[in-house]
Structures are given as C-alpha cells and as structure tokens.
Structure 1
C-alpha cells in the first residue's frame, strides 16, 4: 500500500474519532443537565424559603435602624414616588373634530332670547334647590356624627411631610410648619416643640397629624392641625410612620375603623374624651385602648424610645 493511501486512511479514521468524541460529549452534557435539574428543584425550594425569612428579618432591622438614626439626629428623607400624568378621557384636543359655527340670523336671536332667560331662571332655581338640599345633607351628617360613639375613628389622622419650618416670631417655644398632607396645598401647623426637637430634625420629615381639629390661632398665627407626639415631662417624641408610608396615608386603630368627622365639634369635647386612652404600649407602638395604630399594608405607628407614654 502506498504512503498516500495510508495517510488518507489515517485522516478518515481521525475524522471518525472526532465525530464519536463529539457525540459522546453531547450525551455527557445531556446527562449533566438532567442530573442538575433533579438536584436543583429541592435546592430552589429551600432557597426560596430562606429568602422569605430574610425579607422579614431585613424589614425588622430596617425599622430598628430608622429608630436608632432618628434617636441620634440623622434626618430621614422619604423616597420620592412617580406621579403618573393622566390624559383627559376624551384624548388629545388636537384629535377632536372641528365644530362649524352656523351664522345666526337676527330674527332667530330674538326668538331664542326669551328661552335663554327662562333657562337662566330655571338654573337659578335648581341651584337654590341644590344648595338647600346640600344644607339638609350637612345637617343630617352632623346629626349622624352626634349619634356615633366617641372613639378614635372620629379623628382624621394622616401622614404629612414638613416641607418648611421656622420659629414663631412672637413665641420662643413654638415652630410654624408648612405641612403637605396630599391635599394640593400645604397647611400651616403650629407646634410647641422648640425645646424638644431641633429645627433641622423637623425639616423634610414625615409625621402623623390630626387634620380635623378646628383651626385656632396660636400667638397670632392660625394653626390648621396638630402633630402627634408621645409626650411626658421628661421628653417629647414625634411619632414615626412605618417604613414605606406616603403623604396622605390614613392611620387607623385596628379595632376602630370608620370614617372620621369632617370637623370635630369643640363643644362635644371629642378629642378631650379620646386623649386619655391614647398612648404607646409596652412595645412603643401607638395605641388606643390597647388597639394599635397602623397604616394598611405598611405597619404600625411607633415612638422612637417612649413606651407606655401619653400621646398628644
């Protein structure tokens, strides 16, 4: 056999060997994948369970960290949320068809003028009737509020952000705060916290506010609400909303859900009746008659350090 034939035969056998090796590698890879899937399923389940436990632990540590930071004077800055810009239901004004205005002849205008006057009188009559019905509705609502039991569900407690703060020009112990409560405009709230909370800790912080107190002047400035604090002779602490709380979030007591009064009637002494039963519990959670205050889906309202302390 010539040397050329021998070389050709060797080349063919080498190609066959390479093909066999490639097939074996593919088979080995398939076996590895099957084995990996059978092993990874229970491992994946175990990792998921551990992940859920870690999430709970992280949330607990976050709350503890926030409390420690506030205690040590670290300012808390809430994470901004995106507000979606809603388009009008009718769509873009450019897409609306143009309306042609017909030329009105003088005699037609004369004929329609009495009708227009009659229509205006009818609208005035309807408006007066609507105002009267609205007045009756308000009286009914006030009567319904008067018949309700006096408990914390009567208070409008909401999360707000202090967007501006300064000392009262005529009172050394008072702050004047501009508070965003998600109403489209800020409220002015006057608080006697100068001796208890540094002004830099007041700026840009979230807190819980009572929003349906009757507005009252404090040394010449109208206050439109009250910031809620755990208060005792030794110390006054601003209550902390839970992590993730947003401006405008409502605060409830677990066992006393209900719609608050639009405005508390000072003559009924509603706040004065509720106040003695409003305090932090042994875990520093704000509570009314033992029922903890919370925001749905976010957690309880707490004091940084004060347990079993009056809230006002």
Structure 2
C-alpha cells in the first residue's frame, strides 16, 4: 500500500516537473520572440532612416541640377544681351563712292568698338558662371559662420560701452573680438558661453583694438544678446543653412558689402530661432542657433 502511495506521489511530482519545464520553454520562446521583435524594430528604424537620407540626397541633387540649369540659362542670356549691346552693324557704303573725312572717322571708331566688343565677348565664356552669379546676388553661404567659446572678457581700455573678448574657435590661437554688450550682458555671464562668430570679415581696429571676428547678436528696441548655438556644439563647428549649400569666401571683400547686403534678411523668428530668409542657423546634426529672450528681432 505504501509502495502504491509512493508511486502516486512520484507520478504527481513528475507531472509538476513536466509542467514547469513546459512553462520555462514557453517563457524562453516568448523572450526570444520579444528580442527578435525589438531587433526587427531597430532594423526597421535604421532602414527608414537610410531611406529618408537617400530621399534627401536625391532631392538635394535634383535641386542642385535645377539651380545649375537656371544659372546656365541666366549666364547665356547675359552674354547674349552684352553681345547685342557691344556689337554694331557695319556701315552702308555711299552710292556715290565718296566719303567725307568725318564719315571715315565715324566708321573707324565703329571698327575699333567692334574689335573691343569681340575681345570682351571672347573673354566672357572663360568667366566662372558661379562666381558671376554669386557676385550679382550673394546669399548667406558666403559667410563663414562658426561656433566659438568665450574664454575671457574685459572692458575696452578706451570705451565704456565695449567689451574685448578672447574666443576659442578650434584654431591654434584664440581670436580677439570687440563687441558692444557692456550695457546688456554682465561679463561673468559671457565667460564660458558658446556664441556665433562671423569669421571671414576683414579684421578692423575698434578704438585701437583689432577685432578679428564679429560676434552675432539678436537685437530689439530694448535689448541685445548673443546668439546661442546648441549645447552639444563645439568651437569651430560650421553653421549652415538648408537650401544654401555654397562654400564661404576666404575673406569678404569690403567693397562688395556682402554682410551689409545680407543683413536685412537675418532675423529671429517667433520662437527665437536665428534665420536667413526663413532658413535656420543650423549646426548640422546638433541643432539650431537661438536667441534665448528675443523673438522676432533683428540680427547684427
């Protein structure tokens, strides 16, 4: 009798073990399924990102081709118009076959102008079409805008309204920048801050101190404050603009007044984002540049 009871208990325990084993197997299969699902979700997200990047590259390539085609058409029209202005029709001979001295002089002048026109027209195709168009209508891509960190701030020795700042740009040595922020931001708030600099302007002396860059600020009627890059940006990071892919000038020519011509289209939007014709100041992959407290303001 006791042997039969022991057999029953052993059978019951074996059944329990079997059920537990099945539960463990189901749990392991479920966990494996969850892991596989997560892996598929990650791969799906990566594929989606790759597809989005390829779409953006395709759109950018198509846009550049369209811009280049438009530039070629504009250049061709410009050359044709200049050729029409410079060229003149040959003079008609007099029926009598006799020319006065004044008529001969006029015809000679025309021939000289035609020769000069031919020389100009021959030189025109050699001109870089991109350089010609950029000269006619500059855009923000000609500005070398970069992130910098303020290392030191002191009062200008000859002006109570100016600061002299030493800034780091990821270059071998810091640059010196003069700005008019003394009435708007205390020096201790500037030290260590990331700011936006225009780096390809020609260095100028401001009250005897040479300023090697321009510190960009948002302004309104009451206040002025430096533009703030994204917190993950590093000194030397380039600031770019969507739809304006050109490369900056090595140094802006003061006679062309590029900065002054672009200035009216620089502003902060309703959210304080710094923009050029609606395109945001962007540190690629890191974020946008903003004015912390000034929206719908100017930039200087």
Task: Calculate the TM-score normalised by the size of structure 2.
Answer: 0.62
Indicate the residue corresponding to 2:238 in structure 1: 250
8 Å contact from structure 1 (residues 217, 223) kept in 2: yes
The one of 171, 175, 199 aligned to 1:183: 171
Structure 2 unaligned residues grouped into runs of 5+:
46-125
Moved more, 23-32 or 253-262: 23-32
Change (3 A) 1:30 1:198: farther
The one of 255, 263, 278 aligned to 1:275: 263
The one of 184, 200, 212 aligned to 1:224: 212
Change (3 A) 1:142 1:161: farther
Q: Could you give the per-residue CA deviations for residues 128-168 of structure 1, whole angstroms, max 9, x where no partner exists? A: xxxxxxxxxxxx99996565131111100000111111111
Aligned residues: 212
Residue 243 of structure 1 and its aligned partner are, at CA, apart by 3.0
1:173 equivalenced with 2:165 (yes/no)? no
Task: Calculate the TM-score normalised by the size of structure 1.
Answer: 0.59
Change (3 A) 1:144 1:242: same
SS at match of 2:281: strand
Indicate the residue corresponding to 1:28 in structure 2: 20
Moved more, 266-275 or 27-36: 27-36
Change (3 A) 1:213 1:32: same
The one of 280, 294, 297 aligned to 1:306: 294
SS at match of 1:161: strand
Q: Could you give the per-residue CA deviations for residues 56-89 of structure 1, whole angstroms, max 9, x where no partner exists? A: xxxxxxxxxxxxxxxxxxxxxxxxxxxxxxxxxx
Residue 291 of structure 1 and its aligned partner are, at CA, apart by 1.4
| Counterpart-to-counterpart distance in 1, 2:167 and 2:14 | 72
Q: Could you give the per-residue CA deviations for residues 29-80 of structure 1, whole angstroms, max 9, x where no partner exists? A: 44145146437739x75xx89xx9xxxxxxxxxxxxxxxxxxxxxxxxxxxx
SS at match of 1:166: strand
Structure 1 unaligned residues grouped into runs of 5+:
1-6, 53-139
1:38 equivalenced with 2:34 (yes/no)? no
Change (3 A) 1:249 1:142: farther
Q: Could you give the per-residue CA deviations for residues 262-281 of structure 1, whole angstroms, max 9, x where no partner exists? A: 00000111000000110011
The 5-angstrom pairing of residues 149-164 of structure 1 reads 149-164=137-152
Indicate the residue corresponding to 2:223 in structure 1: 235
What is the alpha-carbon root mean square deviation over aligned residues? Answer: 3.4
Moved segments of 4+, more than 2 Å: 16-27, 35-42, 140-147
| Counterpart-to-counterpart distance in 2, 1:23 and 1:297 | 59
| Counterpart-to-counterpart distance in 2, 1:249 and 1:141 | 32
Change (3 A) 1:20 1:185: farther
Higher relative contact order (CA 8 A, sep 6+): 1
| Counterpart-to-counterpart distance in 2, 1:224 and 1:142 | 30
SS at match of 2:260: helix
| Counterpart-to-counterpart distance in 1, 2:163 and 2:212 | 13
Residue 238 of structure 1 and its aligned partner are, at CA, apart by 1.1
| Counterpart-to-counterpart distance in 2, 1:260 and 1:29 | 69
Indicate the residue corresponding to 2:80 in structure 1: none
